[in-house]
Chain A
Amino acid sequence: MKPAVIEASERAYNWLLRFYPARFKQEFGTEMQFVFSEALKDSYSQHRARGLFRLWGRTVLDAAKTIIVEQFEKEKGVSMETMAKKTSAWLPLAMSLAALALLIGYVLVVGIVGSPDGDEGAPARIFQLLLAGQLPIMAFFAVKWLPEQPRQAWKILALQLGAIVLAVSLVLYFEM
């Protein structure tokens, strides 16, 4: 029987795959799930929680970069790929995904705990920092790229904003 944390991670990765283009997911989604599941089992059996955190760290960065690349590669090619590799394009998305991973990890470990009256605690502060910290990066991205490549830049900004909205929506949903 699989440990609950493995099952939860598999579900979370399956959910993450939704951000890839439909065709890419249709072609490679099942394989990507296989690969992630096997990597999960190996990481967990060798290093337990530390292995899972490291794997998730790598996976979040990998997803943030490749989701942007694949989303735009389906329409236009090289210049968009180059733009998606700019730090200011993928870093905000990675920060939102990290905030989501933190939230999911917190819910798995601690459970759904309502907002306390006093101190919110370190996880809540990290969550807020991850979301707030990306705003200046997004602003830099907008200033630099909107004039040069408006269509693609708007799409990247929409992805970045969508990820923030998603993370905040989950907190509101859990009433945390």
Chain B
Amino acid sequence: MYRLTVYRKSIYNTSMDIPQSEFYILLSLAIKPRHGYEIMKQVARDSGDKVQLGPGTLYGSIKRMLASELIVEAPGDDPRRKYYRLTEEGKKALKSEVDRYNDVMKLVKRVGLFEPFTSAYEL
């Protein structure tokens, strides 16, 4: 594999820096290894069609995630295709991001952020 630019090597130290497309790709690979088109369809399904990756965005993200060692190539059913799976780093990054979402959801519920007629959120 050619030398990838690894300018984002340390970007995943904080989960907040994972772009939305890469978060959904990590999520789609959490269950099983998949090839590109399977990832694309799963991302659309998981996001309720709100995130529809084009091939350029998909493989640009895959390139960066390979460089960051969040995913690796994996054997699959169709030898013509490249399959990808999560690494331990990828699982950690996904868990960290999901934990962050959970924390946000807890906060939203606690302060009743989107409920009408609730008291003001005090910082």
Contact = CB atoms under 8 A, between A and B. Distances in A.
Nearest to A77: B7
Nearest to B62: A28
A7 interface: no
The residue in A34, A67, A69, A78 that gathers the most chain B C-beta atoms within 10 A of its C-beta is A34
Interface in A53-85: 58-59, 61-63, 65-67, 69-70, 73-74, 77-78
Contacts of A145: none
A24 B63 contact: yes
A23 interface: yes
A62 B2 contact: no
B54 A63 contact: yes
Interface in A64-116: 65-67, 69-70, 73-74, 77-78
The residue in B1, B35, B56, B82 that gathers the most chain A C-beta atoms within 10 A of its C-beta is B56
A66 B7 CA distance: 17
Nearest to A37: B37
A47 to B, nearest CB: 13
B: contact size bracket: 20 to 34
Interface in B60-90: 60, 62-63, 80-82
A31 B38 CA distance: 12
Contact of B54 (A20, A59, A77, A78): A59
Contacts, number: 67
B16 to A, nearest CB: 16
A39 interface: yes
B59 A62 contact: no
Given A27-B63, A39-B37, A69-B60, A32 B5 contact: no
B52 interface: yes
A65 B36 CA distance: 19
A35 B7 contact: no
Contacts of B62: 28
B63 A74 contact: no
A35 B52 contact: no
Contact of B56 (A34, A62, A77): A62
A6 to B, nearest CB: 15
Contacts of A78: 7-8
Q: Which 6 residue pairs spanning A and B have beta carbons closest together?
A: A62-B54, A66-B56, A77-B7, A28-B59, A32-B55, A35-B36
